Amino acid sequence: MAFIKKTKKKSGTYLELVESYRENGKVKHIFKKYLGKEINGKPIRRVKTSDI
């Protein structure tokens, strides 16, 4: 099952598409795709340097 994961770092919140799977009875995640950055609660695909 794929879902969107928010990753918080010093430079902001980033969104990535992650898929979960089972390996030896344990649930693991694998990174699939970078979706963009979140600014003011809204997902932004491309970020201008003037907005940072």
| Predicted confidence (pLDDT) per residue in 1-52, tens digit | 889 999 999 988 999 999 999 999 999 999 998 888 888 878 777 656 676 6
pTM above 0.75, yes or no: no
pLDDT value of residue 49:
65
pLDDT value of residue 32:
92
Buried b (16+ CB within 10 A) or exposed e, 3-15: eeeeeeeeeeebb
pLDDT value of residue 18:
93
**Beta carbons within 8 Å of 39's beta carbon, 6+ residues apart:** 12, 47, 51
Output DSSP code: residue 10. Answer: T
pLDDT value of residue 26:
96
pLDDT value of residue 52:
61
CB count, 10 Å around CB of 26?
Answer: 7
